Amino acid sequence: MTVLRLPVARLALAAMLLLALLPPLAVLLYGLTERWDRSLLPEGATLHWLIDVGRAARTHAAVINTLWLSLCSAVLAVVLGTAASLAARLAAPRLAELLDALALLPYAIPPVVIAIGALELFVGRWGAYLDLRMVYVGVVTPLLFPLVHKSLGAALKQLDAAQLLEAGRTLGAGDAYILRRVLLPLLVPALTASLLLCWITAAMEFAIANLLLGGSVELLQPMMNSMRGVNGHESAALIVLSFGVVAVLGTVVQALISWNTRKNS
């Protein structure tokens, strides 16, 4: 029985890897070839789709809009999420359970529902007084809170922050001093990783960006969807470029998490 389990486990793992990697590989091949409509295999390797997309002014505008709006959402989520998590776990432990429950809401409510509700409230009623970009940042920020809350909670548990706080109080230091000089410097790698993770997640948001902003401010994900009906090769090339950016940011996040783990160990 044990002899049979190992090959079955390997086959299951190989099947999962194949299913996970097949769609990105297909997009990569489609973006780097001339055409793929006359046979099972793509024809004519080329980089001109990537070059054309990279040079387009529309792409530059969409990338800039995506980067700064997602960065604003990520920074706001990290600042508010850090303050709430620290206050709950260090000053009011009972509130930590409430924050744990609130952190599940973004996964329970579909983004389309959130976007439609934001359209009805902020655009339908207060649209004349609010900038849609501010509304977008305000709507996306709560969706990033679970990433900050879980990352910070794991870091605080690993540091044993409650014991550090008690030790500082025993030595006569105030809570604000301990937080500023001890806890926050130790949490910098975790906060940086949370910021980058929130930035990536916000940049990949599609439903809210497409429904809420529409044609007023074009972001990268809605642009990919609109280009798909015009030129699939350019859309695939744009996806390949975004994959590259996400891979670089993901590598940075993983390196920071690993460094933080080694440092605290």
pLDDT in tens, 167-221: 777 777 777 777 777 788 888 888 888 888 898 889 888 888 888 887 678 888 8
Any idea where the domains of the chain sit in the sequence?
47-264
Mean of the pLDDT values across residues 243-255? 75
The larger pLDDT score, comparing residue 68 to residue 92, is at 68
Judged against a pLDDT cut of 70, whether residue 158 lies above it is answered with yes
Mean of the pLDDT values across residues 240-246? 79
Mean of the pLDDT values across residues 131-152? 87
Lowest pLDDT segment from 23-32, 143-152, 170-179: 170-179
CATH topology of domain 47-264: MetI-like fold (1.10.3720)
> With pLDDT > 70 as the criterion, what percentage of the chain qualifies?
91
Mean of the pLDDT values across residues 60-79? 90
Q: What is the 3-state secondary structure (H, E, C) of the chain?
A: CHHHHHHHHHHHHHHHHHHHHHHHHHHHHHHCEEECCCCCCCEEECCHHHHHHHHCHHHHHHHHHHHHHHHHHHHHHHHHHHHHHHHHHHHCHHHHHHHHHHCCHHHHCCHHHHHHHHHHHHHCCCCCCCCHHHHHHHHHHHHHHHHHHHHHHHHHHHHCHHHHHHHHHHCCCCHHHHHHHHHHHHHHHHHHHHHHHHHHHHHCCCHHHHHHHCCCCCCHHHHHHHHHCCCHHHHHHHHHHHHHHHHHHHHHHHHHHHHHHHHHC
Give the mean pLDDT of the chain. 80
- Please state the pTM of the whole predicted model: 0.79
Q: pLDDT, tens digit, for every residue of 14-25?
A: 889 888 888 888
Mean of the pLDDT values across residues 130-146? 87
